[in-house]
Each structure stands twice: as C-alpha cells, then as structure tokens.
Amino acid sequence: MTKVAFIGLGNMGAGMAARLIDAGFEVCVYNRTAQKCDKLGEMGARIAATPKDAVNGAEVIFAMVSDNWASHQVWLGDDGALAGDFEKGALVVECSTLSHSWVLELSQEIAKRGLKYIDAPVTGLPDAAAAGELVLFVGAEMDHLDEARRFLIPLCKEIMHFGDVGAGTAYKLIINLMGAVQIAAAAEGFAMAEKAGLDLDLVLSAMCTGQAASPQVMRNLERMAKAKHSEDLIFSGSMRLKDAMYGVQLADGLKAKADFGHTAAGSFQKLVDLGHGSLNECKVIDVMRTKTA
C-alpha cells in the first residue's frame, strides 16, 4: 500500500487527508494542534508527533499550512519533514498558499534532497475539500505531475497545469489578490448604501444578482448585511491580508502595476490593526464604515 504523509489539518487539510484515506492510501498525518488529528485517526490514519516522523517511508508528502513561516517550520525546522526518512524520489505536493519567492526557494531545497516538487495551491471552500471537488492550480514538470495524478484525483474536480514550479502559486496569488479587491470594493459600496439611506435588503439583492456579482462578492455581502463576522469562520481577515500581501509582493517583483491590490491590502491591514484579524474577512465592512464616517 502506498504511504502518504499529510502535514497541516486546518479547514482544508483535514478534508483533503480524509479523501486520501477513503481512496485507500496508507496515510500518516501531522498537525501542530494534535487534537485535529483525532478524527482522521479514527478513520485509520497514523498520527505523527512531528513532520519528521510523519514522512517516514512516505512516497508522497502533502502540505497544507497557513503561511511562509508555518511552511518553513514543517519543512526545515529541527523536526521538519526534510529531516525524515522518506522514500527516495518521493513526490512533494505543496498545496499551501505561499509567497512566490518562498515556493521557488523551497522547491530548490526539496530538489537538493532528491524529491520531486509539485506546486499545487487549491481553490474551493472546506465543503469542496471534503467532497473532493477542489480545483488545483499546478506548477510542475509534466512527468512529475503525471506521476502525481493518482494522488491528486481524489482531491479535485479539475487540475489546471500553469507551467513550471511557481506558476501555480503565481496564478493563485493573482486571483486571491483580485478577491481582496472585490471584497473591499463590495464593502465600500455597501457602506455607501448605508450612508445613502437605501433599503439594504434591496441593495443586497441587487448587488448579488447584478453584473458586479461574483461568488466572493455574494458570499461576503450576505455576511456583511447580517453582521456574521464571527460565525462559521471560513477565511479570516488575517488570511486575506496574508494572501494580498503575497500578491502585491509578486506584482512588485514583476514590476507590474497593482494599485488596486495595494489599496485592498491596506484595507485588510487596517482591519488587522483594529484587532479583528481573527474574524471573517467580511468584517472589513467596518473599515469602510470608518472611512466614510
């Protein structure tokens, strides 16, 4: 039976690891908060105490962590995965949304150890992760991707191959930066509607069915209208800020214009500065209310 290691069991990673167990792979899991491993242990996963332990004997290593710092720790820390006894030529599938520069650096560190790196950030909500309906944005050598497909298929409804390592992350950062702009713009518009004394139920309906609607806009506008900032946390303000900052860093490195991206990132920075980073990203409506006060 093929041994798979899965590192990082947050909202997305837990569902993804469960899909791999259901697909019949021998899965070992690691998470910094160990209690999050319990359900997967009941499903048959081995629970590791460290990333180093998790990858022992693994032919494939998945990671789904929050940011560059967490990624550095699980790969290159004292008990990191790259210190483990993985199979020679094992596949690494990095599904985290990380900065483009760190992905390139990490891929080089992994290649030095004879591993094959696949850059595969995902799009989709936790329900899609649990149902195997994610979309994967892949950057990898084609032969590495072909070798990995049997492990990726249980996780997703589509694999989009953008090119070499780093290309998947570049695309993911572009669309997540666009998402930050859309959410900030929706919050700004809704705050203006409040100031104008408009019927907010009608505004919500019109915005969610008009030409400016998108899944990001609709989901967040509904939460803004109902003040659902702390319920059913899906994507926090801090996480949106992190992705937006990685996105503008990419743009700056490419010498590409990202005026709207910088402005949106600034709005989410103000949200975090106000102490609301742990709440849903829709809380950015309060930043816009302050701006228009």
Domains of the chain: 3-164 (3.40.50.720), 170-291 (1.10.1040.10)
- Percent residues over pLDDT 90 in the chain: 96
Can you give the pLDDT at residue 213?
Answer: 93
Asked if 105 contacts 117 with a C-beta cutoff of 8 angstroms, the reply is no
pLDDT band at 293 (very low <50, low <70, confident <90, very high): very low
- The residue written with tokens 């996780």 in the block is 155
From CA 164, how far away is CA 111, in angstroms rounded? Answer: 14
Residue 227 has pLDDT above 50, yes or no: yes
- The mean per-residue pLDDT over the stretch 154-162 comes to 98
- The mean per-residue pLDDT over the stretch 139-152 comes to 98
Amino acid in position 151: F
The predicted-structure confidence for 274-286, as pLDDT tens digits, reads as follows 999 999 999 999 9
DSSP code of 27? E
The CA–CA distances, whole Å, from 31 to 7, 11, 35, 77 equal: 6, 12, 8, 14
Mean model confidence pLDDT for the chain: 96
- The mean per-residue pLDDT over the stretch 230-259 comes to 96
Can you give the pLDDT at residue 188?
Answer: 97
Looking from the CA of 243 toward its CB, the CA atoms found within 13 Å total 26
From CA 117, how far away is CA 122, in angstroms rounded? Answer: 16
Reported in sequence order, the residue ranges of 52-163 that DSSP labels E, i.e. its strands, are: 60-63, 91-94, 116-119, 122-123, 134-139, 156-163
Residue 234 has pLDDT above 90, yes or no: no
Can you give the pLDDT at residue 115?
Answer: 97
Picking from 162-171, 190-199, 226-235, 252-261, which range would have the lowest pLDDT averaged per residue? 226-235
Picking from 55-64, 181-190, 210-219, 266-275, which range would have the lowest pLDDT averaged per residue? 210-219
Can you give the pLDDT at residue 292?
Answer: 45
Can you give the pLDDT at residue 291?
Answer: 59
Q: Which of 172, 242, 270, 283 is catalytic?
A: 172
pTM score: 0.95
- The residue written with tokens 């081995």 in the block is 46
1 or 280, which is more confident: 280
- The residue written with tokens 């069991």 in the block is 9
Asked if 253 contacts 100 with a C-beta cutoff of 8 angstroms, the reply is yes
DSSP code of 70? H
Determine whether 172 is an active site residue: yes
